[in-house]
Amino acid sequence: MTSLITWRPLETLWDWDVDENFAGFMEPMGTKSVPWAPRVESFRKNGSYVIKVDLPGVEAKDIQVTVENGCLTIKGERKMDKEVKNKDLLRREVFYGSFERSIAVPEDLKVEEMKAKYHDGVLEISAPVEEPVQPKKIEVEAEKS
């Protein structure tokens, strides 16, 4: 087994990692928009494929779900509370703004029966899974001459 790893001299590694990762570190809190993506889990249960997406603080009207060519896409936006001013803000660990998350879904989904429910900050998308075609044994009859 072989693997290729790009070699970077120490000074290049330092410049690349630290500068990029801490580019907005000294900016005042709340002035930089950070892209975010919600956490997702998927599983099969009772003949259905289920996807759960954590979206606390997002309103149902701000969520869009589409499925196309075996790919499920969830788009939306978590809006910042306009009551809180940046000068009053003590800590912000919650990401705001638009998000988009795409995941591959199994080919055996009945997409036309897909449903989405939103409750307590969790989006649950489910679709029945087509039953796999069971192999059928066919008897071969021998012709009598």
Quote the tokens at residue 135. Answer: 């192999």
What is the distance of C-alpha 88 from the center of its chain?
A: 32
Q: What is the reported pLDDT for 2?
A: 54
Most confident of the following: 1-15, 21-35, 48-62, 78-92: 48-62
- Tens of pLDDT, residue by residue over 25-53, are 444 444 455 578 899 999 999 999 999 99
- pTM for the complete prediction? 0.65
Number of Cβ atoms within 10 Å of the Cβ of 25:
8
Helix (H) / strand (E) containing 116? strand 115-119
Identify the structural domains of the chain with CATH numbers, from first to last: 36-128 (2.60.40.790)
Per-residue confidence band for 133, with pLDDT thresholds at 50, 70 and 90: confident
In 46-105, the DSSP E strands lie at: 48-54, 63-68, 71-78, 97-104
Q: What is the reported pLDDT for 88?
A: 73
C-alpha 94/C-alpha 73 separation (Å) is 22
C-alpha 13/C-alpha 6 separation (Å) is 11
- Tens of pLDDT, residue by residue over 113-128, are 999 999 999 999 999 9
